Chain A
Amino acid sequence: MKMTIRAAFLGLVFAVLVGTAAHAASDALKGMVYDTGPLKATDSKLKVRVGEQAPDFTLKSVSGKMVSLSEYKGKSNVVISFIPAAWTAVCSDQWPGYALAQDVFRKNEAVVLGISTDNVPSLYAWTSQMNGVWFPVLSDFWPHGDVARKYGVLRSDGTADRTILIVDKKGRVRYIGLHSINARPPLEEVIQELERIR
């Protein structure tokens, strides 16, 4: 019986894994994702450089807790992930994808801080719909985009450019990846950089 089905299924089904580029957010978000269409790839000018001390910040997380970058000093490497906007396709693919690598981040003594210029209720609803994410999600809504501006990743429309920074335990910026707003950065890029630091 099983053999019959297996033979007939040759090349049969494809089950998609983590999701994707512009058109494959999780089914949990079906009908809820806003299609921005292609946007200007980047629209900001970095104000931080590799080797410098990372500007400290304190932002409210979706859990209601205030989170500061400086609280990780001497304890963990920090991956700061700025994303442009909740409820959009690429962003809805990027953060859930980090779930796959949670153990790898831990092995590399790194935490992730996700930052968006959306307000807390919007980020709460969005991440809840994605069944939550394992790292703190911080709102840079007010003063609007203040942290994104400090880092030089605030776009002219008030969203943040898709940027990944790695800050080491001494608080120094060790890596900056300014990515196109239209595509999800591959996971291995940040993992390789973390392994290099370790």
Chain B
Amino acid sequence: MIGIGIGNSQYEVRLFREKYAPPFPLFDDRSSAVAGSLSGIYTPHHFGLKMEDSSIREIFYSESGVFPDAEAFLEMIAEESGIQRGGNS
């Protein structure tokens, strides 16, 4: 999992990291290079991407909004992505 601050400067992302200490890497995107191709996006927005080499093979999940239960969110992502929890895939 990674986090991207759309429109956020390096300073703002650092402040966020210091305040909330999320257990995953954060990146700033002041120029909104990532969101530039996504019109009408609301935050937070979560994407599930299937990667192949360094390219996106498939976007299997894309929803905006806060999820109240992290465990339930991970379960749902596991299901949407086709990952079998506890399996060897």
Residue of A nearest to B30 (CB): A186
- In the complex the two chains form, what is the Cα distance from A53 to B87 in whole Å? 69
Scoring A19, A103, A187 by chain B CB atoms within 10 A of each residue's CB, the highest score goes to A19
Main SS class of interface, A: loop
Residue of A nearest to B12 (CB): A187
Q: Chain B contact residues (Cβ within 8 angstroms of A): what range?
A: 35 or more
Main SS class of interface, B: mixed
Q: When the two chains form their complex, are residues B85 and A24 in contact, meaning their CB atoms are under 8 A apart? A: no
- In the complex the two chains form, what is the Cα distance from A15 to B6 in whole Å? 10
Q: When the two chains form their complex, are residues B41 and A24 in contact, meaning their CB atoms are under 8 A apart? A: yes
How many residues in A have their beta carbons less than 8 Å from beta carbons of B?
35
Q: When the two chains form their complex, are residues A12 and B5 in contact, meaning their CB atoms are under 8 A apart? A: no
Whether B65 sits at the interface, judged by CB under 8 Å, is yes
Q: When the two chains form their complex, are residues A19 and B19 in contact, meaning their CB atoms are under 8 A apart? A: no
A-B contact list, 20 entries, CB within 8 Å: A4-B87, A5-B83, A8-B83, A9-B77, A10-B51, A11-B2, A13-B61, A14-B4, A14-B45, A14-B47, A15-B4, A18-B7, A21-B35, A23-B38, A25-B42, A27-B42, A100-B12, A187-B9, A188-B12, A191-B11
